[in-house]
Chains A and B, each alone.
Chain A
Amino acid sequence: DTAVSQTPKYLVTQMGNDKSIKCEQNLGHDTMYWYKQDSKKFLKIMFSYNNKELIINETVPNRFSPKSPDKAHLNLHINSLELGDSAVYFCASNELAGYQETQYFGPGTRLLVL
């Protein structure tokens, strides 16, 4: 019973293609995130959704478009893939209890653009 799942786990594609990464959480959380991990292991926040509404949209190319059909899903669509998009992308969902925040990470999607 995986809490946060991502598909696919590995994605190898050609430059210029359009691809989607899916994320689902079965925890009932209202908030979900997409992060990009670079080669130095830094995690950069890309988007955050709260109950299907976009609340954080960091400076990412508009080739990246998040879609949240319901609060359990936050998918990431990437148009016209570039070499620099190669990275590991993590989805996460957030539980906020009072002032205590717990974040649950998915297993990551390893994207390689050739």
Chain B
Amino acid sequence: DQQVKQNSPSLSVQEGRISILNCDYTNSMFDYFLWYKKYPAEGPTFLISISSIKDKNEDGRFTVFLNKSAKHLSLHIVPSQPGDSAVYFCAASDSGGGADGLTFGKGTHLIIQP
């Protein structure tokens, strides 16, 4: 059973608008969440993270929101730019933010249209 789910395989957004990528999880022991961005033929690169003691973390154009009661997090990108076109992975950890391993979702392919 998938513990981290990204139910939208792809998402198309117009340049300049807001992109919202969603992620749901089932394991209530997860306490640290991350978003990775991946271009074709490259490894995922870390984008932004959030600890379960927070409900929002912002870094430039990227904001991650965490709703623990709903076991849901989302990544907002605003304004969306062409270079944001990539696959975005949600990942979760139950090791208190340590590097003890992550559980990944399957990814959402974000396409930014001009």
Give A residues with C-beta under 8 Å from B: 33, 35, 37-45, 48, 56, 87-88, 90, 99-105, 107-108, 110
13 further A-B pairs in the complex, CB-CB below 8 A; given A43-B43, A43-B44:
A41-B34, A41-B102, A42-B45, A43-B45, A88-B101, A103-B38, A103-B106, A104-B106, A105-B89, A105-B103, A105-B104, A107-B101, A110-B100
CB of B53 within 8 A of chain A? no
Question: Are B101 and A108 in touch, CB under 8 angstroms?
Answer: yes
**How many residues on chain B are close to A (CB under 8 Å)?**
24
B56-114: which residues lie under 8 A (CB-CB) from chain A? 87, 89, 99-104, 106-107, 109
Which residue of chain B has the shortest Cβ distance to A45 in the bound complex? B43
A41→B45 CA distance, assembly (Å): 9
Given the interface pairs A100-B109, A101-B109, A102-B107, the reply to whether A43 lies near B36 with Cβ below 8 Å is yes
